[in-house]
Every structure is written in structure tokens, then in C-alpha cells.
Amino acid sequence: MEFDRLVRLVGDLPVFESSLLLAGQAHPGQTQLQLSRWAAAGKILRLRRGLYALAPPYQKTAPHPFVVANHLVRASYVSAQSALAHHGLIPETVPVTVSITGQRPSRHRTPLGRYVYHHLQAAHRRGYQRLEVSPGQWAFVAAPAKALLDLVYLTPGGDAPAYLAELRLQNWDLLDLAELRREAERFASPKLLRASKALAALAEAGVSEFAAP
């Protein structure tokens, strides 16, 4: 396969699987070898085995980190600090994209950034939605309440009022406290129930402070 043909095939995709190119190939080994050569030449970026992205200047749009995260580990969703920052609930930019998966915990360092995956049981992998995170790019991302509870659940001492205050949560109107309480109850975790009460108190204090003259 010529590189120009590859660009025509995958130019509109933020990332692509090698299986897309191998379907119907008489000699898949040759295609794999060519992919390795293009990666070595800096024309494509290898994200993991079988997953690639076109390198600049060949890519039409830069892959969004959340899209990359969903593809690096299948059946995962972006959550915790990454989702909270995306929703505007915390002020900091998060340098590592954090996701939840049913697979084993893992870490990935790629040419497009660093990615961390935490394991949760199937019953707790809920409360996420498919969002357009960049024009034409979609990813599975936890809703604000679920992202916050995932963070609390995964963080030792995450239910401590001092830790929750250190998050510097903002835009409280974007956080559904009733849904947060319901999600905490679905977890059946005393830790999350304590956190939901502490967060409700923080929200009341935050709104009161914001409303003060």
C-alpha cells in the first residue's frame, strides 16, 4: 500500500485500527511491515499494538485525548479528574487522561499523551454518556456526578471533607446533587454516602458564598 492511499483511507479518522487495512489482504504481513516503517519514519503514530494515528502534517484534525482513551482500552469511559475538568467542575487542566474499565488497571504512555485506567466492577460502570468532545469527535465520558463519585471511590481518604475542599469544585449548578446521592446509594458504599453528604454541605456553602453581596 502506498502512503497516499493510507491518507485517503483514514484521513478523516482521529485514530485507526490496523484491522481496517488488513481486511481482505492477501499478505497482511506486508501491511504490518509497512505500518512499522511509516511509524519509524514519523508518518504515523503507534499508540498501542494495532492502533495508530496519522502524524502531523498528514492528520486533518488532532485526535482528542478522550477519543484516544476510548480506543486504547475498549469498553472504557473517561472519568474522575479528566471528566470533571471537561465539565468545568474543577479549574485545573489534567495532564493525564483517567478512565474506568472492566479490565485490569493499566497505564499507557503514547505519543499523544498519558492514559491511566482504573478497574470497577460491572455494576458500577454506569453513569456515562457519549459526548462530542471536539467537532466531529465523540467519546464516552462520565456525567459530572458519576465522575466525582468515581474519583472519591478510587482515592484513599477521598470522602474526607478536607480532600473534597481541596478539589476546589466550581460551577455547582452543573452538579446534580440528587443524582449524586442516588449514584452513591447504587454503589452501596458507606464511603460514597459520607462523601455525598459532605459535598452537599460544600455546595450549600459555595452557593451561599457566591450569592453573598
Query: Could you give the CA distance from residue 87 to residue 106 in angstroms, rounded to a whole number?
Result: 24
Do residues 78 and 124 share a domain? Answer: yes
- Domain extent for 18: 3-54
Is residue 38 one of the residues assigned to a domain?
yes
- At residue 70, φ and ψ (nearest 5 deg) are -60, -35
User: Does some domain include residue 211?
Assistant: no
Residues 73 and 154 both lie in one domain: yes
- State whether 27 and 97 are in the same domain: no
Would you state the pLDDT for residue 1? 78
Asked if residue 100 and residue 147 are part of one domain, the reply reads yes
Predicted confidence band at 25 (pLDDT cuts at 50, 70, 90)? Answer: low
pTM for the complete prediction?
Answer: 0.92
The domain tally of the chain equals 2
User: Residue 48 falls within a domain, yes or no?
Assistant: yes
> Do the Cβ atoms of 100 and 169 come closer than 8 Å?
no
Q: Would you state the pLDDT for residue 26?
A: 54
Q: What is the DSSP letter of 122?
A: G
The mean pLDDT value for 29-51 works out to 94
Q: Please report the pLDDT score of residue 166 as a whole number.
A: 93
- Residue whose cell numbers read 471537561: 86
Do 117 and 163 have their domain in common? Answer: yes
Task: Answer yes or no: is 23 within a domain.
Answer: yes
Q: Please check whether residue 26 lies inside any domain of the structure.
A: yes
Residue 213, pLDDT above cutoff 60:
no
Q: How many CB atoms lie within 10 A of CB 112?
A: 21
The answer on pLDDT for 47 being more than 90 is yes
| Three-class secondary structure assignment of 145-213 | HHHHHHHHHHCCCCCCHHHHHHCCCCCHHHCCHHHHHHHHHHHCCHHHHHHHHHHHHHHHHHHHHHHCC
97 and 201 belong to one structural domain: yes
Please tell me whether residue 117 adopts helix, strand or coil conformation: strand
- Residue 173 burial (CB count, 10 A): 9
Strands 113-119 and 106-110: antiparallel
Work out the mean pLDDT of the chain and round it to a whole number: 92
Question: DSSP string of 41-53?
Answer: TTSEEEEETTEEE
C-alpha to C-alpha distance for 94 and 187, rounded to whole angstroms: 26
Which stretch of 18-22, 28-32, 76-80 has the lowest confidence by average pLDDT? Answer: 28-32
Average pLDDT over residues 150-169: 96
Q: What percent of the chain has pLDDT over 70?
A: 95
